[in-house]
Structure 1
Amino acid sequence: MISRFSYDTPISKIKEKLNATFLFKSIYLNDPIKKKFEN
Structure 2
Amino acid sequence: MYSVLSTILILAFFTGFVKKIFPIFSKRFYPVKRQPARQV
Q: Which runs of 4+ in 1 moved over 4 A?
A: none
What's the TM-score once normalised by structure 1's chain length? 0.53
The question of 1:25 aligning with 2:34 is answered: no
Tell me the amino acid that sits aligned with residue 32 of structure 1. S
Tell me the C-alpha RMSD between the 2 structures.
2.3
Unaligned runs of 5+ in 2: 31-40
Name structure 1 gaps, 5 residues minimum. none
| Identical residues among aligned pairs (%) | 4
Return the index of the structure with the highest Cα Rg.
2
Which structure carries more relative contact order (alpha carbon 8 Å, separation 6+)?
Answer: 1
Report the equivalent of 1:8: 4
The total of aligned residue pairs comes to 28
